[in-house]
Each structure stands twice: as C-alpha cells, then as structure tokens.
Amino acid sequence: MEYENDEVIVREAGRKPAVVHGGAVEQAPDPRVRPRWYVHFRVPDVTAAVAAARAAGGTVALAPAASATGHQAILRDPDGGLFTVTTV
C-alpha cells in the first residue's frame, strides 16, 4: 500500500487492484450526494461478464459500450450494488 496524489493505492505484483480516492473533506456535505464506492473489475470479455451477471440475478444499468478506458458495462447486483466491468 502506498499514498500518491491524495490516493491510497494497493499494489500487487506490479498491478493496482485497488485505489481509494479522497473526496470533499474540506467542504460541507451535500445531502444529494450519497457516499459510495466506484467498483471496477477488469474482465477478459465484457459481454460474457454481462451474461454471467444476468444469470446470477443482476441487471444492466448501462449497456456495454466503448469508453476512454476500454469496452465497459455498468451492472447492478441483486442487492442493488453498482459495479463496472471493463476490458482494455
């Protein structure tokens, strides 16, 4: 684990499996913005990941599409948690 540019970075074998960003510590809380994690998973095949999520009871919040970071989709687990799957 290391600190870099106001982020906590977890490194494992040269990869970054987790990065935690700070946020708005100096500002008054905005009641319209709920605290949340942005969870991203790198997968070899976004389409297959979407199919697996649906088969497990998940839903698609944002259909697979190209993005600046690669092909990605935003999914919702059966309990409502959002996460992103991305292939680079």
Q: Under DSSP, is residue 36 helix (H, G, I), strand (E, B) or coil? A: coil
Write down all domains in the chain, each with its CATH number in brackets.
Answer: 2-87 (3.10.180.10)
**Tens digit of pLDDT for each residue in 20-51?**
766 555 566 666 666 567 788 889 999 999 99
pLDDT > 90 in the chain, percent? 41
Q: What is the pLDDT of residue 22?
A: 63
Strands (E), 1-88: 2-4, 7-12, 15-21, 40-42, 59-67, 70-76, 82-87
Tens digits of residue pLDDT in 51-69 = 999 999 999 999 999 988 7
| Residue corresponding to tokens 């991305």 | 86
Mean pLDDT of the chain: 82
